[in-house]
């Protein structure tokens, strides 16, 4: 698999999932109703980043690391690939936390009105003792897939990226790379200085 993962193939597999995590984290992930008697069952909704602070930040770190993987030299590429993989693991862990317990995520992201004081059987209880269950929307699932893909590709890139060329490798040719048989360009003044006639075709 490492041989298959060229830089051109890795580019969308690294950048698209990282960007998807960032964008999806701004959508509503969990909805529910407040269990506080004062709020009278007010509807609550939280985004992915509200439910798990740091989700957008980790996605941006993964995105920046992905760009670095594709544009830097071998040593920095290895460091960037490791950083990307760690950031991807962080987004995966946060997303799984929300998917496994949306009620706790709702309570954490909704503020004081949804703050839990204990939970049993998948529901969270507020200070008034009323239950406030949370329900997942569709958005956490594509984010989970994107985070998983980013983690796998990041791990494979750590091994496969060692043989990639840098972005500017084609501009790094030294004078030693010039063809040995390249003709020397001489001016008419050079010919005259050596006593030759520059208008003579044989010269």
Q: What CATH number did the domain enclosing 145 receive?
A: 1.20.140
**Is residue 27 domain-resident?**
yes
Beta strands in the chain (DSSP E): 28-33, 43-47, 118-120, 123-125, 134-136
Q: Report the pLDDT value the prediction gives residue 26, as an integer from 0 to 100.
A: 94
Encode the chain (203 residues) as per-residue pLDDT tens digits: 566 778 888 889 999 999 999 999 999 999 988 766 555 567 888 999 999 999 999 999 999 999 999 888 888 888 999 999 999 999 999 999 999 999 888 888 776 544 333 333 344 444 333 346 789 999 999 999 999 999 999 888 888 767 676 554 443 444 444 454 545 555 665 666 666 766 765 54
Query: CB-based contacts of 18: which residues, under 8 Å, 6+ apart?
Result: 59, 62, 63, 66, 84, 88, 146, 150
158 located within any domain: yes
Domain assignment of residue 194, yes or no:
no
Residues in the chain: 203
Q: What is the pLDDT of residue 19?
A: 95
Q: Is 196 helix (H, G, I), strand (E, B) or coil?
A: coil
Crossing angle, helix 140-160 and helix 7-24, to 10 degrees? 150
Does residue 178 form part of some domain? no
pTM, two decimals, is: 0.69
Number of domains in the chain: 1
Does any domain span residue 202? no
Range of the domain at 148: 7-168
CA atoms within a 13 Å half-sphere pointing along the CA-CB vector of 30: 28
Cβ-Cβ contacts under 8 Å for 75 (sequence gap 6 or more): none
Residue 181 lies in a domain: no
β-pairing verdict for 43-47 and 118-120: unpaired
Selection from 51, 159, 41 nearest residue 96 by Cα? 51
């Amino acid at each position: 698999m490492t041989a298959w993962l060229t830089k051109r193939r890795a580019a969308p597999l690294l950048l698209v999932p990282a960007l998807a995590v960032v964008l999806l984290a701004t959508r509503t992930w969990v909805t529910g109703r407040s269990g506080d008697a004062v709020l009278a069952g007010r509807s609550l909704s939280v985004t992915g980043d509200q439910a798990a602070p740091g989700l957008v930040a980790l996605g941006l770190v993964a995105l920046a690391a992905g760009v670095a993987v594709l544009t830097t030299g071998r040593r920095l590429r290895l460091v960037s690939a490791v950083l990307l993989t760690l950031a991807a693991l962080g987004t995966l862990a946060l997303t799984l936390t929300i998917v496994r317990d949306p009620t706790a995520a709702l309570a954490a992201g909704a503020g004081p009105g949804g703050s839990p004081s204990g939970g049993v059987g998948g529901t969270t209880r507020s200070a008034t003792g009323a239950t406030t269950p949370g329900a997942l929307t569709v958005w956490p699932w594509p984010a989970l897939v994107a985070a998983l893909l980013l983690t796998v590709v990041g791990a494979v890139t750590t091994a496969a990226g060692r043989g990639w060329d840098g972005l500017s490798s084609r501009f790094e040719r030294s004078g030693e790379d010039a063809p040995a048989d390249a003709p020397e360009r001489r001016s008419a003044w050079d010919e005259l200085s050596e006593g030759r006639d520059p208008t003579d075709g044989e010269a």
